[in-house]
């Protein structure tokens, strides 16, 4: 078969959107670390020193969130003096966007030079020990119930055709989160995240089935973003804020969006503190990196990617 020279349309769209964001940024440097804030978890951004705000709606082609509690913008600046990019709000597959659009903002951040991403979300507990209000560090994921964002012609510029998934969530970055939890005194559990498509909450039978499969938490966003991010060679870490027990579990009444949003606000208060500390530790971890490949040997960031800035406090 003759070689196909037409640029991949998904790649071309990410590049177009990235170019528009670069233009909005002017000479502002993008931090090597980004935080994705899930539904109702946007308050950490309130404390940010913002150098540039880019609403998703202002970038032609970027999907705009229709979900409650999602602001829908990129913020570039610093938090307590540490440079960071924040994605305040995301889109979900259940909103009707193609999966390539759902993961577009993550791929865009990588094009801008981001190398590590902290993914946050609200989720239901499948593990009965994870009471609402808990924070859970994601150790692994079950993505089998949501379509892969990597289906279709492989985008070689992003990663390999058959990416390894043995360590989706980076161990060193997870250690940073565990250390941040210890230092701030914020309890942090650990567990496996499972992503169905949503938008409906699960049935009690599904929750029982997911528990048997090895899931600890269930949510509608993060696993596909994690998959696309790993494909692209980003190092990632994920945190779920537990807003409710899964449907049909003891003590759980019928589920509502209001309950999820209310608990999300409560969770934000601890999460903000944990993220601020973790950001410093992760920045130090990135800075200590000596090779151009990441800890699990994935693709290197794009040419021109920002180097992690030295940060004195983080290196103490
Ligand atoms: N199921 C799926 N997603 C969720 C839940 C849930 O119970 N709670 C918050 N997000």
Q: Which residue has the higher pLDDT, 312 or 200?
A: 200
Cis peptide before 285 (omega within 30 of 0): no
Peptide linkage before 29 cis (omega within 30 of 0): no
How far is residue 27 from each of residues 42, 51, 85, measured CA to CA in Å? Answer: 26, 11, 15
Query: Is 153's pLDDT higher than 80?
Result: yes
Q: Classify residue 295: in a domain, yes or no.
A: no
Asked whether residue 271 carries a pLDDT value surpassing 60, the answer given is yes
Mean pLDDT, the chain, integer: 88
More confident residue, 288 or 144: 144
Q: Is residue 57 part of a domain?
A: yes
Question: Best of 41, 95, 201, 266 to mutate for ligand 1, by most ligand atoms within 8 A of CB?
Answer: 201
pLDDT reported for residue 118: 97
The model's pLDDT over 248-270, given as tens digits with 9 standing for 90+, comes to 999 888 888 888 888 888 899 88
Q: Give percent of the chain above pLDDT 70.
A: 89
CA of 35 to the centre of ligand 1 (A): 20
**Index of the ligand 1 atom closest to the CA of residue 202:** 1
Question: Tokens representing 98?
Answer: 């193609």
- Say which DSSP state 67 is in: S
Query: 185 to each of 146, 177, 182, 192, 237, how far by Cα in Å?
Result: 35, 12, 5, 22, 19
Identify whether 20 is part of a domain: yes
- Residue 232 domain-assigned? yes
Q: Residues with Cβ within 6 A of ligand 1? A: 122-124, 201-202, 218-220, 243-244, 246, 255, 260
Query: Is 35 part of any domain?
Result: yes
Q: How far is the CA of 256 from the centre of ligand 1 (A)?
A: 10
Report pLDDT for 70: 62
Give me the residue label for tokens 């109702």: 40
Q: Is the residue at 54 inside a domain?
A: yes
Q: Please tell me the predicted confidence (pLDDT) of residue 181.
A: 97
Whose tokens are 């499948």? That residue is 126
Total domains present in the chain: 1
List pLDDT tens digits, range 167-180. 999 999 999 999 99
Which range has highest mean pLDDT (38-42, 234-238, 295-299, 307-311)?
A: 234-238
- Among protein residues, the one with the nearest Cα to ligand 1's atom 6 is 124
Domain of residue 136, residue span: 9-290
Distance separating alpha carbons of residues 168 and 187, to the nearest angstrom: 23
Q: Is residue 2 part of a domain?
A: no
pLDDT in tens, 56-79: 999 999 998 876 656 789 999 999
Please answer whether residues 145 and 197 qualify as being in contact, where contact means their C-beta atoms are separated by less than 8 angstroms.
yes
Atom 3, ligand 1: which residue's CA is nearest?
Answer: 219
What's the pLDDT at 254?
A: 84
Check pLDDT > 80 for residue 114.
yes
Indicate whether 305 belongs to any domain.
no
Considering only CA atoms, which residue is closest to atom 10 of ligand 1?
123
305 vs 307: CA distance, rounded Å? 6
Q: How far is CA 145 from the centre of its chain?
A: 18
* CB neighbourhood size of 293 (10 A): 12
Nearest CA to ligand 1 atom 7: 124
List pLDDT tens digits, range 230-249: 999 999 999 999 999 999 99
- Residue 310 in tokens: 């030295």
Q: What is the pTM assigned to this prediction?
A: 0.89
Give the number of the atom of ligand 1 that is nearest the alpha carbon of residue 198: 2
Q: Does the pLDDT of residue 297 top 60, yes or no?
A: no
Whether the per-residue pLDDT at 292 is higher than 60: the answer is no
Q: What is the CATH number of the domain that holds 255?
A: 3.40.50.1580
Please, which pLDDT band fits residue 19 given cuts at 50, 70 and 90?
very high
């Amino acid at each position: 078969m003759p070689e196909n020279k037409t640029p991949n349309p998904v790649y071309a769209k990410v590049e177009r959107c990235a170019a528009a964001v670069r233009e909005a940024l002017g000479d502002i440097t993008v931090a090597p670390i980004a935080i994705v804030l899930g539904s109702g978890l946007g308050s950490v951004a309130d404390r940010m020193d913002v150098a540039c705000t880019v609403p998703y709606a202002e970038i032609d082609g970027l999907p705009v969130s229709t979900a409650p509690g999602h602001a829908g913008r990129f913020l570039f600046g610093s938090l307590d003096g540490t440079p960071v990019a924040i994605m305040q709000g995301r889109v979900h597959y259940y909103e009707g966007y193609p999966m390539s659009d759902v993961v577009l903002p993550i791929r865009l951040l990588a094009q801008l030079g981001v190398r590590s991403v902290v993914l946050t979300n609200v989720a239901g507990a499948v593990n009965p020990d994870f009471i609402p209000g808990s924070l859970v560090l994601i150790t692994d994921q079950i993505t089998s119930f949501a379509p892969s964002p990597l289906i279709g012609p492989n985008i070689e510029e992003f990663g390999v055709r058959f990416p390894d998934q043995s360590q989706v969530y980076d161990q060193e970055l997870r250690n940073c989160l565990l250390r941040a939890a210890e230092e701030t005194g914020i309890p942090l559990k650990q567990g496996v995240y499972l992503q169905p498509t949503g938008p409906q909450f699960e049935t009690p039978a599904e929750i029982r089935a997911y528990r048997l499969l090895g899931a600890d938490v269930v949510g509608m966003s993060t696993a596909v973003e994690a998959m696309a991010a790993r494909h692209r060679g980003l190092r990632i870490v994920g945190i779920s804020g537990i807003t409710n027990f899964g449907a049909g579990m003891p003590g759980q009444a019928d589920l509502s969006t209001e309950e999820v949003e209310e608990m999300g606000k409560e969770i934000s208060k601890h999460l903000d503190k944990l993220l601020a500390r973790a950001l410093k530790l992760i920045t130090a971890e990135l800075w200590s990196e000596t090779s151009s490949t990441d800890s699990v040997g994935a693709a290197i960031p794009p040419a021109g990617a920002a180097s992690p800035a030295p940060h004195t406090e983080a290196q103490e």
